[in-house]
């Protein structure tokens, strides 16, 4: 047991505990506690999907739009020719490319480490 810095207080506490002694519990104390635990309400966990019904409808509409565009494009091969505007070419120094690659690699390493840390902390 860790002692107090003030020795007088520690002596007073020890004497008070000796004088008071242990308190006697009722005979049915354990049964009453167990009954309270049995009747305690448990939280109800409801299932909530990751992607909602509206989200799935948006995904289905997007897929149907792409398929419809490919089907009704008017070409015999079924291939739709999309032409995007040409993006400006950006020249980066080699050091910048390596830095971006290193940061990306560190992020890829950090994700599993954080997952392991949080699963140990929660479990």
The more confident residue out of 76 and 121 is 121
Q: How far apart are CA 75 and CA 25, in angstroms?
A: 88
Entry field: residues in the chain? 123
**Is residue 73 over pLDDT 90?**
no
**What are 11-58's pLDDT values in tens digits?**
888 888 888 777 778 888 888 888 888 887 778 888 888 999 999 999
Q: In terms of Cα–Cα distance, which of 59, 82, 56, 88 is closest to 69?
A: 82
Q: Where are the alpha helices (DSSP H) in the chain?
A: 7-20, 29-39, 53-71, 94-122
What is residue 99's predicted lDDT score, i.e. its pLDDT? 95
- Region 60-70: mean pLDDT is 88
Q: What is the pLDDT at residue 77?
A: 63
């Amino acid at each position: 047991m860790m002692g107090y810095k003030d020795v007088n207080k520690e002596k007073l506490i020890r004497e008070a505990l000796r004088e008071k002694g242990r308190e006697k519990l009722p005979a049915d104390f354990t049964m009453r506690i167990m009954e309270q635990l049995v009747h305690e309400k448990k939280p109800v966990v409801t299932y909530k999907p990751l992607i909602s019904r509206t989200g799935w409808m948006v995904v289905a509409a997007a897929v149907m739009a792409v398929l419809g565009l490919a089907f009704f494009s008017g070409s015999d091969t079924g291939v739709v020719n999309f032409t995007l505007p040409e993006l400006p070419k950006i020249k980066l120094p080699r050091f910048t490319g390596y830095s971006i690659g290193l940061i990306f690699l560190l992020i890829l390493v950090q994700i599993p480490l954080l997952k392991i840390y949080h699963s140990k902390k929660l479990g």
